[in-house]
Amino acid sequence: MVKVTEEIKESLKGTKIAFLATASKDGAPNVVPIGAFKFLDNETLLISDQFFNKTLKNLQENPRISLVWWGEKGGFQVKADITIHTEGEVFRQNVEWVRGIKETLRPKSAVVGKITDVYLIKSGPDAGKKIL
């Protein structure tokens, strides 16, 4: 798996909304804005699912994601292989974290992504360049 840099981790921390892309088993794309995401470590993302419908179905059929965000210094696209947790320690920690953000949120699952690729999102000659 790929290890992200501190710059990439800080960029995501400073972002309020990211865009999560999934695809169904037959390749139909879906993109949703999300607000509950973070790095668990240098190789792993956590995305909390409160409202996923098509997205969850896609994740169950095709466990790969692309997460894109734009910050003050540009943006990144992270691709990852995911697992879905609806119980156990990872799910419990997800619930605790999300309720710390907003008490009324009720996570349905914790989506854990092992990062496989990272790309630059910016204009110019390095647009779309794979960096990790």
| Pairwise CA distance, residues 88 & 65, whole Å | 22
State the chain's mean pLDDT as an integer: 94
Residue spans per domain, the chain: 6-121
Judge residue 17's burial from the number of C-beta atoms within 10 Å of its C-beta, 0-12 exposed, 13-18 middle, 19 or more buried.
exposed
User: Which parts of the chain have pLDDT scores under 70?
Assistant: 73
pLDDT score for 123 = 81
Among residues 66, 72, 64, 40, the alpha carbon closest in space to that of 118 is found at: 66
To which CATH superfamily is domain 6-121 assigned?
Electron Transport, Fmn-binding Protein; Chain A (2.30.110.10)
> Taking the model in full, what pTM does it have?
0.93
Among residues 30, 107, 26, 17, the alpha carbon closest in space to that of 68 is found at: 17
